[in-house]
Amino acid sequence: MAKYILKRVLMAVITLFIVICLTFFLMNAVPGNPWLSEKTPTQATIDALNAKYGLDQPVIVQLGKYLENLLHLDFGTSIKMQKDRPVLDIILTMFPISAGIGAIAIIWAILVGVPLGCLAAYKRGTWVDSLLRVICTLGISMPGFVVATMLLHILTGGIEGLKLFPTMFDGTAKSYVLPCLALGFYPMCYLSRQTRTAMLDAINQEYIKTARAKGLKNKKIIFKHALRNALIPVITYLGPQIAFTLCGGFVVEKVFSIPGLGRYFVMSIQNRDYPLIMGTTIFLAAFIIVMNLIVDLLYKLVDPRINLAKGGN
């Protein structure tokens, strides 16, 4: 186990390093520079600005310096969007908003998706199953922005008399409803499909036959024996799903004008604010990688039969 954890952590660090280097070189390969937008500055001004932010040195030197600073949790300062404000400070004020919406979304997705999947498996072959299958297939075929804009249009006054929620995000509980609903819809459908497959798999297992032979009640068989085992494969999907929800936030944050990290990340790319792009990418990447790592390790805790050290799939 210890060896496995060590291996995974090492892997995660290497991945993060690759992401950092990739981001860094890409940023530097882009033609144009961050000073171009407003008035075209003179060459002397550009040189002075480059010297101030260390952009005049060779790329490798810049990368080395950046990595060194990163070890001290110094992400540098923003050079354009919010001039001279530390990047870490910006991230820490924006991330909680995104994380809050993402967390609520994933929680409702689990709370609704898993029971729906169970229901579909339990009522297999009936109209309930068919209906749920249609909804879920539709749900995973609609891009996030379609769901988000449809909700936005229908529930904020597009249809007369249905102005239930505010259009703009203002931090009140009511304004959280739509973004969370939109963000959690895809994972909900996905989880429900996965749960259904896993449940059907579990129901055909020998231990369910044994449980039936023992004369256990149907409910007990479903919840205690089938569901518990069916949840194991579902957990594997949770890691990427959390990452997806966080990134799906890009779209939802744009549609509902939420001042979150996802929208800011996109804006910083469009504005070529190098330190900010680097900072947000590294932060989000680290978050996603750690999340995946945690879910993988949880997997082992939930099902002791899985022997991770031997590279079990």
Partner 1 sequence: MAEKKKKQPFGSLRPDVDDILDWNNLPQDAFEPASSAEKESFIQDRESVSYWKDAWRRLRRNRVAMVAMVIVILIGLFAFVGPLIVPYTYDQVIPGANNIHPWHYSLEDQAAIDAYIEEHTGTANLSPDEAVAQAEAEAEARGETLSPVEAAKIRATAKANQGKGEENVTEKDAAKALGIKVKPFGYTQAELERMAAGESVFPHVFGCDNQGRDIMVRTMIGARVSMIVGICCAIIVLVIGALYGSISGYCGGKVDAVMQRIVEIIYTIPEVLVILLLGSTLKPIFEEFQNSGDGFLQQMVTLLGANLISIFITFGLLYWVTMSRLIRGQILQLKQQEYVTAARALGASGGRIIKRHLLPNCIGQIVTTTFLQIPSAIFTESFLSFLGMGVTAPMTSLGSMCSDALGGLNTYPYRLFIPAAILSLMILCLNLFGDGLRDALDPRLKK
Contact 128, 120 (CB under 8 A): yes
Give least dist CB 142 to partner 1, A: 5
Is residue 124 part of the contact set for partner 1 (CB under 8 A)? no
**Segment 139-158, which members bind partner 1 (CB under 8 A)?**
140-146, 149-150, 152-153, 157-158
d(CA 131, CA 57): 61
d(CA 192, CA 132): 9
Give least dist CB 159 to partner 1, A: 10
d(CA 20, CA 93): 22
Interface pattern 222-261 for partner 1 (x via CB under 8 A): ---------------------xx--x--xx--xx------
Is residue 172 part of the contact set for partner 1 (CB under 8 A)? no
CA atoms within 13 A of residue 142's CA, in its CB half-sphere: 22
- Pick from 120, 183, 199, 289 the residue near partner 1 by CB under 8 A: 289
Give residue 112's identity as a one-letter amino acid code.
V
Alpha carbon 35 to its chain centroid, in Å, reads 32
Is residue 269 part of the contact set for partner 1 (CB under 8 A)? yes
Among the listed residues 57, 77, 71, the one whose alpha carbon sits nearest the alpha carbon of residue 279: 77
Q: Please, where are the H alpha helices in 30-126?
A: 43-52, 59-71, 87-122
Whichever of 29 and 71 has its CB closer to partner 1, that residue is: 29
Whichever of 48 and 150 has its CB closer to partner 1, that residue is: 150
Rg (CA), the chain: 24
- Pick from 37, 137, 172, 210 the residue near partner 1 by CB under 8 A: 137
**Stretch of 13-21, 80-88, 97-105, 110-118 lying at the interface with partner 1 (CB under 8 A):** 13-21
Is residue 27 part of the contact set for partner 1 (CB under 8 A)? yes
d(CA 68, CA 58): 16
- DSSP, collapsed to helix, strand or coil, labels residue 299 as helix
- Contacting positions for partner 1 (CB under 8 A): 11-12, 14-15, 18-19, 22-23, 26-27, 29-32, 137-138, 140-146, 149-150, 152-153, 157-158, 197, 200, 243-244, 247, 250-251, 254-255, 265-266, 269-270, 277, 281, 284-285, 288-289, 292
